[in-house]
Structure 1
Amino acid sequence: MAAKIDATSGSYDRMKEVKEFDDSKMGVKGLSDSGITVIPQIFVHDPQTLSDLKPSSKNTTTTIPTIDLSHINSAAHRPKIVDQVKSASKTFGFFQVTNHGVPVSVLDETITAVKALHELPQEDRAKYYKRNEGKGVMYASNADLYRTSAASWRDSLQVWMSPERAKAEEAPEACREELFAWDLHATKVADDVFELLSEGLGLEGKRFKELTFSENRFLVGHCYPYCPQPDRTIGITAHTDVTAVTVLLRNHVPGLQVRHENEWLDVKTVPGGLIINVGDLLQIISNGEYKSVQHRALANSWKEVRISVVMFFYHTKWREDNYYGPLPELLSPEKPPIYRDFTKHEILENYYSKGLDSKSFIDKVTIKN
């Protein structure tokens, strides 16, 4: 797919190429499978984004914490687990959990099913390709393709699970059964983590459940195929999640990086582990106690596809005045709110007005002194 030049102005017509790529319904998987050696111009990122695509060598032994949940219901062990979750959420914003109750066979089946969808013949994948963000089922390359200045090297399946659940028949048959089953497993893990996070703030364990943090959720199955020029693009740009919490399942192909102490860390794979990260909403609700941090995925230089299955958890319950903000019980004269109240409309407007970015919503609601 060659770059297009506007004959009148002599300038590169990016939007024309974006539309041609989208209309082809081939996705980056199709581009990769075609054997191209030069990526299309729409995927080339600016020098600033490309300047630090490798982690700092001094941090090769540092990674996000791993927390064992096997004794989560033990009165003797739970306080320690709560402290570990609290510490990880304050310092890294990310942690991995093991012994979370989901059988390894289910993890493997979920990854295999999502991979099977993305590796269908192009003509079969194209049957599902469509753009309808925010509802039902969407299979496309780059949800923000038309909003961002440079596309990223990934294709994604998005399935809304709650409060308006996608119809099962809308989901691709190759992974339909596994994804709806994964919704139940991931939600159970998220509910356990929400209890630990709530207790870490000195609240009752069920407080976040009362706030319906697991009742507004959707699943995304990302595919990062082989990229012939991984130094010119990225798998997903540096961003923070606007969620309360995100639960991530991935295969063994590396690429995820987390920003910590002004350096990018590679997130190492832990067998049977699930990755949890704090989102912008939880940072605001906790009045800054928990931190939402930048993360990104490098373009895949492996011949094998990288697969990640992401569950995003928001909340459905808003105050009667339709506003939300830091929890009142966490505030005091010594700890005044550092974020203003906001509406759901503000969140959606901020998200859909541009491509993925970092903490732009938190910046908008931070109270300036």
Structure 2
Amino acid sequence: MATISEQATRVESLASSGIQSIPKEYIRLQEELTGIGNDIFEEEKQQEGPQVPTIDLKGINFANPEVRKKCREELINAAKSWGVMHLVNHGIPDDLIARVKKVGEAFFNQPIQEKEKYANDQASGQIQGYGSKLANSASGQLEWVDYFFHLIYPEDKRDLSIWPKTPSDYIGATSEYARQLRGLATTVLSVLSLGLGLEEGRLEKEVGGLEELLLQMKINYYPKCPQPELALGVEAHTDVSSLTFILHNMVPGLQLFYEGKWVTAKCVPDSILMHIGDTIEILSNGKYKSILHRGVVNKEKVRISWAVFCEPPREKIILQPISEVVTEAEPALFHPRTFGQHIEHKLFRKAQDDLLSKKKS
């Protein structure tokens, strides 16, 4: 593991130092700050305008065909119109989710010196572990977040040596959550397959199946920020994954770019937020949407989120629209590439965009 001196400054350290203004490298470009208000808590309460859909999965495998059909259609429609949704009655026990949140919070509540024992070393390619975003763009700007990142499923691909030993329930709670979340991913992929007129297991097969689909967890820790109107916890992006599942500590901060405006997602109790990622958008030839989103921060409360990215293998599978969803009227919208090539393509595009923004400013 890397030493503290080799790491970027921890955002938690900055936030707790008593600064009244944030360092310039955390100040985002003006164009990135459009739609960021002064009070995310008030924005989250607003009832006006579009709302992220909430999908009740209770009937997804119900014996009654009408109930089952209605539930599945709601999920499919949300994937087509928004690409993001709150899932309730998802089948993962509340007490297990509470354990996952408890151990994640407990890890971040430790002194920074303890967390540094798990520090990653991005320069050498060791991306798993405790870290902060390094300046890897032409603009040189940073995000107001620290994180812990690691692969959690399949079990035979995990590296438990970098998992936190404290709190003691971290490995047990996270392992069981990963196992159950993998089952939920299969259920969702099955319904999305049917929504494209394909057999149930098709999308699961296209993203790697039980053996190859990787679940990567990133616990994001967003400290209080003295100038939240100038910063971003996570800059605007779409997820490269097939699906992303998110828990949070009921502090608002997620914004979605929907119909030309930034919409603040409400905090829905006992829900798991799910994003459709680029991988499913590509396979569905754009029928399912990978929505642009970002994380904002606030002065009053620490926000923590647990994002699990379901990613296909980097090189083994060619990502391209499934042949059955491509027609003369709806030709392929995406060029064939591996998942790894897709990531590189996005990084290249971002670097070009950053250079352009820097020249304008």
Distance across 2 between alignment mates of 1:204 and 1:287: 17
> Mean alpha-carbon deviation: is it higher for 326-335 or for 91-100?
326-335
Q: Does the aligned pair in 2 maintain the 1:89–1:290 contact within 8 Å?
A: yes
In structure 1, the residue matched to 2:34 is 51
Give yes or no for the alignment of 1:348 onto 2:308: no
Aligned match of 1:324: 319
- Structure 2: stretches of 5+ with no match in the other structure: 38-42, 354-361
Which aligned segments of 4 or more residues in structure 1 are displaced greater than 4 angstroms?
Answer: 55-59, 133-136, 351-358
Q: Once structures 1 and 2 are overlaid, which stretch shifts more, 49-58 or 25-34? A: 49-58
Per the normalisation by structure 2, the TM-score is 0.84
- The equivalent residue for 1:28 is 11
SS in structure 1 at match of 2:230: coil
- 1:74 CA drift (Å): 1.4
Tell me the residue number matched to 1:96. 86
Give the % identical residues: 28
CA deviation string 1:213-234 (max 9, x = no partner): 5622211110111111101111
Contact 2:120 2:126 in 1 (8 A): no
2:202 partner letter: R
Alignment check: 8 A CA contact 1:85 1:200 kept: no
Query: Are 1:39 and 2:22 matched, yes or no?
Result: yes
Aligned to 1:193: 188
Deviation at residue 66 of structure 1 after TM alignment: 0.6
Question: Paired residue for 2:40?
Answer: none
Is this contact kept in 1: 2:248–2:304, CA < 8 A?
A: yes
C-alpha contact (below 8 Å) 1:244/1:313 kept by paired residues: yes
Q: What does 1:256-335 correspond to in 2, within 5 Å?
A: 256-302=254-300, 304-316=301-313, 323-335=318-330
How many Å apart are 1:236 and its aligned residue? 0.7
Partner of 1:124: 114
Aligned-residue offset at 1:330: 1.3
- The answer to whether 1:138 aligns with 2:129 is yes
Contact 1:240 1:294 (C-alpha < 8 Å) held by counterparts: yes
Give the structure 1 partner of residue 224 of structure 2.
226
Letter in 2 for 1:104: D
Aligned match for 2:159, one of 167, 183, 194 = 167
Distance 1:354 1:337, change over 3 A: closer
Deviation at 1:344, TM superposition (A): 3.5
Look up the equivalent residue of 1:167 and give its one-letter code: D
Aligned-residue offset at 1:49: 1.2
Offset of residue 318 of structure 1: 6.8
Rounded to whole Å, the distance in 2 between the matches of 1:109 and 1:354 is: 39
Cα distance in 2 for partners of 1:94, 1:169 equals 34
Change (3 A) 1:218 1:56: closer
Aligned residues: 335
Gaps of 5+ in 1: 1-19, 359-369
What is the deviation of 1:314?
Answer: 2.0
Tell me: CA distance 1:334–1:84, structure 2 relative to 1, closer, same or farther (3 Å): same
Residue pair 2:153, 2:178 contacting (<8 A) in 1 also: no
Change over 3 Å in CA distance of 1:236–1:283 after alignment to 2? same
TM-score, with length taken from structure 1: 0.83
1:182 positional shift:
2.0
Match of 1:243 among 241, 244, 252: 241
Q: Secondary structure at the match of 1:190?
A: helix
CA distance in 2, matches of 1:36, 1:353: 34
Is this contact kept in 2: 1:98–1:274, CA < 8 A? yes
Query: 1:56, 1:114 → 2: CA distance?
Result: 24
Residue 119 to residue 350, structure 1, CA distance change in 2 (3 Å): farther
Shift of residue 180, structure 1, vs aligned partner: 2.3
